[in-house]
Structure 1
Amino acid sequence: MPQMALSALFWACFALIPPASAQTFGSSYTSTAPRDCRVKSAGNGVDDSTVRVCPGKAGLVVVISEDDLREAVSVGHSRAAADREPAAETSFGPFNSTTHTVEWRAVDGKPFAIIQRWHIADNADEDKNGRPIAKPLLAVTRLPPGAVCHVAYVDVKANPDANELARKAADEIARGFTCGKDEVKVIGASGRAVELAKRR
């Protein structure tokens, strides 16, 4: 085979080999439905606040604390660890709740962020029965190593591609985000859900 043909064949084969530094991003999912978690009383004996401790990925647990019709979601290697994270103290001013599906973003199989859909009550927009209509928001939360906190919000109604925007935010922002220093990013078009999320 002529030398030129051999050279062309070599480079053609080389081009098919992915770079050693290429990272593979992916998603997996877990449930925070009460049937899939350990449900406990908050233990203060005053109200009906509850805590759900739900299995996550890579030895992590998702801890959802509900009090006064508001939730906080944190992640750690144990409930105690999750309770110490900034996310454990983060909720929104209006009544709110989360859906029962958690999306885990991982690189090469190691999770670094979660994405979860929140529903935030809008007291200025009521249904025919006078109940606030909830506005959907995707929250991106960074994971250990380092602190656990919200890093980005995506308004679902304002962005038809909200899920993709949230994944992109997780992949590009979460690992380099410094909790307590960096400001939570609003990704894509802002809308009513983002306005409500900023009310503390």
Structure 2
Amino acid sequence: MMRIGLAIVAMLSGMAGASAQTIESVYTDFDAAECVMFAPGEAEAGMPRQAVCPGYGGYPVLLQTIGDNHSLYFGFPPQGELVSRWASFVDTGTPHDVIEWRVLAERDRQVPQATIQRWFVAVPERDDPVEVLLVQKVGLIEDWQGCIVGYVVATGNPDANEAARKIVDALGSAPQCRTIEPVIEAGSVPLPEYMLYGF
């Protein structure tokens, strides 16, 4: 009888521990005017302008710019490097001014797992930009990694936000970026051609 009672207590304790861990969305503003430049870059030589921007809970947003193209990295870069990766689109892409952070909350600890940000890609054959949700794993202090985990075409897709969150919750906590192949979800509108360097 005592053993059964202890087993039930252990089971309930495990359930309580699991329920104490949740993933929630936190939103921050993104404004390039608030970023602080740390490298002016040289467009002719293919060297981007680099800046650090406010993020979430001490996790920075790193912005790179060459001409009209931008690349964003969330969290701490690999091996302590300032910026070593480029993720953007072949056609001009403009990031939305709101970033959704998917945050793992466990008691008093909040750790951002990944971000979702809407991009507007000016595809030449279309009158209106193609909207794409870019899903990125946040580089944490413990593993110094951050990477693209998914692209969801939002144009013509009313369920795009939910699809992006499912990608985050499945891959955002994966330990090794190098083993992650980005998930691509596109419907009637194809995903604009994208560029990835250093991933």
For the criterion TM > 0.5, the same-fold answer is yes
Partner of 1:21: 18
List gaps (5 residues or longer) in structure 1.
Answer: 1-10, 128-132
Partner of 2:58: 59
Asked if the contact 2:26–2:102 (Cα under 8 Å) also holds between the matched residues in 1, the reply is yes
How many residues are treated as equivalent by the alignment?
176
* Structure 1 residue 161, shift from structure 2 partner: 1.7
Distance 1:135 1:172, change over 3 A: same
Partner of 2:124: 123
Partner of 2:97: 100
Between the aligned residues of both structures, percent identity stands at 26
What is the TM-score when the length of structure 2 is the normalising length? Answer: 0.74
* Structure 1 residue 41, shift from structure 2 partner: 5.9
Moved over 6 A (4+): none
* Structure 1 residue 64, shift from structure 2 partner: 1.4
Distance 1:24 1:167, change over 3 A: same
Alpha-carbon distance between aligned partners in 1 of 2:154 and 2:43, rounded to the nearest angstrom: 37
Task: Determine which structure has more spread, i.e. the larger CA radius of gyration.
Answer: 1
Alpha-carbon distance between aligned partners in 2 of 1:176 and 1:157, rounded to the nearest angstrom: 28
List gaps (5 residues or longer) in structure 2.
Answer: 1-7
Partner of 2:68: 69
1:23-172 to 2 correspondence within 5 Å? 23-39=21-37, 42-44=40-42, 50-77=49-76, 81-84=81-84, 88-108=85-105, 109-125=110-126, 127=127, 133-145=128-140, 146=143, 147-172=145-170
What is the TM-score when the length of structure 1 is the normalising length? Answer: 0.73
